[in-house]
């Protein structure tokens, strides 16, 4: 039964201190709280209790106002997405955390080199890569900061690819789906949307985006933008660990990203715009959904069931409440997968999601 649960694997990319560890602690900490479950009708549960406790220890530290220590080892976290009172998760969300420095520099110690290599190889099995852009620096330094970050990321991606190729085991595939996430979104002006950020970066850093797209071999790199905030902070301290932006959107947005790629591949139009528009466009894909496995690369086929359960045509004009009701009804009947899919649709239909995500036409 456990093997039948679809899983989505997500990896955060970004230099040391870009907020990967804080994100994960907040991601788990906030989505397993009782108040979150009351409002959203689901919660996250760590598959490994000691992993969950470790993340909670970091989360409690944030509740006291301190950011967690940086990560100095590779960790794989597996969370069960549990709807209502259902005993089984409808979806597993898998995250990888690792020292950001591993992306920037080759360690001197041989066994750390080997651990880094294993970790990077795992990252490549992700369905979606999320590149973190420090929102505070984006606001204060503007596009020069973004250009520098993208150039740096391109160079690191190339260096690591070359390093693997030189060692006789070239990288087989990097994630095809990428989301550029503007972190620390709590520090952004209130009227700044993902769409505005996208327009700004696409017009002001086109060359750098094209450079990364080539380096990671993903034509769509730079087309998807998400506003994220793990906590409300002042740059040095956590002011409120319970205030976050976009955490609950990451998994559903990643699925939409996979579907959009599918639409591109099948030449059935493409999903772009704000989430509502994307879902409207993707609903044209319904006749194709039954044949998902023909289009999806093997790495994505573990998601097929869930993608089908999203029922794209249903409730296009409906808001989050409509899907929450569907979620509750499915949970009542013990339909785990349908309940999870409805919960994800509810997140995508929320007003907050319309501001926080934007996909540009590529």
Partner 1 sequence: MRIDLDSVLWRTRGRTWDYGFVLRPVHPHIETWYDFHADAFSGATPGRDPVSVGGVLLTIDGEKVPFVATTFQDPTLRDAAGRPVAHYFVWFPTIAGAPADLELPADWGPQVVQAFGDEWKTAFSSDGASDDDLLAPARSMIKEVPLSDAGGSSIRFDRRVVEKKKRQAVPPTSKTNRTRLVTAAVGALILALVIYWLTHR
d(CA 41, CA 95): 22
Minimum CB separation of residue 13 from partner 1 in Å reads: 14
Toward partner 1, which CB reaches closer, 100 or 271?
A: 100
191 in contact with partner 1 (CB under 8 A): no
16 in contact with partner 1 (CB under 8 A): yes
Minimum CB separation of residue 114 from partner 1 in Å reads: 4
Stretch that binds partner 1, among 69-77, 265-273, 293-301, 353-361 (CB under 8 A): 69-77
239 in contact with partner 1 (CB under 8 A): no
351 in contact with partner 1 (CB under 8 A): no
237 in contact with partner 1 (CB under 8 A): yes
Minimum CB separation of residue 349 from partner 1 in Å reads: 34
14 in contact with partner 1 (CB under 8 A): no
Toward partner 1, which CB reaches closer, 37 or 112?
A: 112
Toward partner 1, which CB reaches closer, 131 or 331?
A: 131
64 in contact with partner 1 (CB under 8 A): no
Q: Footprint of partner 1 on residues 246-265 (CB under 8 A)?
A: none
Toward partner 1, which CB reaches closer, 116 or 359?
A: 116
76 in contact with partner 1 (CB under 8 A): no
Are 360 and 264 contacting, i.e. CB atoms less than 8 angstroms apart? no
Size of the site for partner 1 (CB under 8 A): 35
140 in contact with partner 1 (CB under 8 A): no
Cβ atoms < 10 Å from Cβ of 246: 23
Q: Footprint of partner 1 on residues 24-63 (CB under 8 A)?
A: 57
d(CA 263, CA 142): 33
Q: Footprint of partner 1 on residues 82-121 (CB under 8 A)?
A: 99-102, 104-105, 107-115, 117-118
Residues that bind partner 1 (CB under 8 A): 16-17, 19, 57, 66-70, 72-73, 99-102, 104-105, 107-115, 117-118, 167-169, 172, 235-237
């Amino acid at each position: 039964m456990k093997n039948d649960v679809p899983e989505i694997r997500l990896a955060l990319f970004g230099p040391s201190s870009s907020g990967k560890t804080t994100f994960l602690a907040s991601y788990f900490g906030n989505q397993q709280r009782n108040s979150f479950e009351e409002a959203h009708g689901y919660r996250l549960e760590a598959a490994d209790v000691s992993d969950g406790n470790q993340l909670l220890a970091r989360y409690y530290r944030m509740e006291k106002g301190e950011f967690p220590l940086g990560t100095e080892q590779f960790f794989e976290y597996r969370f069960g997405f549990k709807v209502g009172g259902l005993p089984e998760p409808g979806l597993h969300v898998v995250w990888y955390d690792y020292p950001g420095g591993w992306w920037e520099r080759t360690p001197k110690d041989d066994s750390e080199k080997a651990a880094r290599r294993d970790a990077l190889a795992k990252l490549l099995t992700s369905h979606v890569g999320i590149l973190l852009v420090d929102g505070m620096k984006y606001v204060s330094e503007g596009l020069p900061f973004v250009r520098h970050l993208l150039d740096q990321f391109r160079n690191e991606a190339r260096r690591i690819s070359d390093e693997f190729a030189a060692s006789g085991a070239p990288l087989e595939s990097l994630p095809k789906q990428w989301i550029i996430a503007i972190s620390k979104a709590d520090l952004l002006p209130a009227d700044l949307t993902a769409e505005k950020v996208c327009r700004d970066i696409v017009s002001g850093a086109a060359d750098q985006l094209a450079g990364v797209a080539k380096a990671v071999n993903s034509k769509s790199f730079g087309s998807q933008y998400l506003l994220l905030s793990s906590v409300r902070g002042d740059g040095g301290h956590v002011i409120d660990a319970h205030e976050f932006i976009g955490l609950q959107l990451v998994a559903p947005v990643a699925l939409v990203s996979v579907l959009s790629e599918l639409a591109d591949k099948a030449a059935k139009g493409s999903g772009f715009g704000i989430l509502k528009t994307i879902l409207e466009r993707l609903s044209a894909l319904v006749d194709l959904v039954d044949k998902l496995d023909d289009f999806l690369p093997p790495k994505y086929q573990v998601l097929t069931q869930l993608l089908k359960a999203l029922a794209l045509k249903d409730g296009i004009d409906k808001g989050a409440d409509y899907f929450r009701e569907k979620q509750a009804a499915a949970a009542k009947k013990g339909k785990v997968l349908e309940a999870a899919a409805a919960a994800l649709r509810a997140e995508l239909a929320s007003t907050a999601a319309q501001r926080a995500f934007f996909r540009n036409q590529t």
